[in-house]
Structure 1
């Protein structure tokens, strides 16, 4: 698969185990609100992938929002 126009790419950096997040602003998504919709879609897909209720994933998202426990590195 070749990705020509990425929006968000998250991956584990080889050798360090760090999770990197590359954001690629796009006219298609517009501003932060369009990317918030992508996040919402991601939550729905995570729930489907792990066969759990969407609210279970949102609960974890809310916990993380209130007290960040991850150290995801943003790079462009």
Structure 2
């Protein structure tokens, strides 16, 4: 899983875009995203599957003072 440079922050939410390469299975992607949700506070916002098998995933987490202390995404 790689993190793209695109990060969007608004008043309530922080969004990150991830790229999953074509070789990543659906189950493996779900496990990786579940780990991020469990330990970093991210939740799934949007997924796009492209014809070459690449997935673009948007994850988000609510902005709070405590979220600044949470670790970031695995890259």
- Between Structure 1 and Structure 2, the one with more strand by share is 2
**Superposition TM-score, scaled by structure 2 size:** 0.32
Say which one has the larger Rg. Answer: 1
**Superposition TM-score, scaled by structure 1 size:** 0.32
